[in-house]
């Protein structure tokens, strides 16, 4: 309904009628109060995008932290493998044995060329042959209280496996390769390092 409001001024002139804005239940149709549906949807969309971005950044950070932590463990496991093979070499020379005795002097030795072996300094000072060859060394186990890695059957199985292979360079030099493999979910990881071992006199 249109309402006309007519006012007479002091000179008696009656101005053009003024049309007032209609009200419904006392509320102007042109009221600016509150958000429209579109404004609400836009605000919600922005909020969802911000939350999604923050969550994604946190997940990426956690994944990077876990990967870095595992990579450090893999590095130390590989270093331990090198040191154990080197210790056997040193012990052989100090005891006037062939420098590769117990490593790769003959085909009966655990790390003979073409075979794969591993080491367990916690339980033994000798190398251990992986029965099924390269790519089939058993998983390392870890003591929850000390953090040590070994093949002790009483310890829980870890995600890491360690494999050591040797290749001949010449009569007085061999290349030692240590591979540490692990996986998180469906993602497989590997740390691989190589070091040459010499027949020092």
Question: By C-alpha distance, which of 40, 37, 18, 20 is closest to 28?
Answer: 20
Judged by average pLDDT, the poorest of 31-40, 133-142, 162-171, 178-187 is 31-40
How does residue 185 score in pLDDT terms, banded at 50, 70 and 90? confident
* β partners of residue 117: 129, 164
The more confidently predicted of residues 108 and 4 is 108
pLDDT at 65: 64
Strand partners, 1: none
| Residue 24 confidence (pLDDT) | 47
Strand, helix or coil at 191? strand
Span 149-181, pLDDT tens digits: 999 999 999 999 999 999 999 999 999 999 999
Q: Which pLDDT belongs to residue 66?
A: 67
**Largest separation between any pair of C-alpha atoms in the chain:** 133
Per-residue pLDDT averaged across 10-14, rounded?
54
| Every domain of the chain and the residues it spans | 51-198
The residue behind tokens 């590989």 is 78
Q: Alpha carbon of 124 to those of 104, 128, 156: distances in Å? A: 17, 9, 19
The stretches of the chain forming alpha helices (DSSP H) are 37-94
DSSP assigned state of 5? E
pTM: 0.69
For 54, phi then psi, to 5°, come to -65, -45
Mean pLDDT of 113-118: 95
Parallel, antiparallel, or unpaired for β 173-184 and 127-129? unpaired
Average pLDDT of span 73-92: 95
pLDDT grade, residue 12 (50/70/90)? low
How many beta carbons lie within 10 A of that of residue 162, not counting itself? 27
């Amino acid at each position: 309904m249109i309402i006309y409001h007519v006012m007479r001024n002091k000179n008696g002139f009656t101005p053009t009628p003024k049309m007032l804005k209609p009200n419904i239940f006392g509320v102007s149709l042109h009221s600016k109060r509150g958000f429209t549906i579109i404004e609400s949807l836009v605000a919600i969309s922005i909020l969802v995008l911000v939350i999604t971005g923050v969550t994604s950044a946190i997940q990426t950070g956690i994944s990077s932290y876990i990967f870095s932590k595992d990579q450090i463990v893999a590095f130390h496991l590989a270093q331990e493998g090198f040191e154990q093979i080197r210790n056997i070499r040193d012990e052989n020379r100090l005891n006037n044995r062939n420098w590769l005795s117990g490593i790769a002097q003959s085909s009966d030795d655990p790390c003979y060329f073409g075979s794969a072996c591993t080491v367990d300094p916690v339980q033994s000072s000798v190398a251990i042959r992986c029965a099924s060859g390269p790519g089939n060394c058993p998983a390392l186990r870890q003591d929850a209280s000390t953090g040590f890695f070994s093949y002790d059957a009483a310890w829980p199985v870890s995600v890491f496996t360690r494999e050591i292979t040797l290749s001949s360079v010449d009569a007085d030099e061999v290349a030692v390769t240590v591979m540490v493999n692990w996986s998180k979910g469906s993602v497989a990881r590997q740390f691989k390092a190589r070091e040459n071992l010499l027949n020092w006199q």
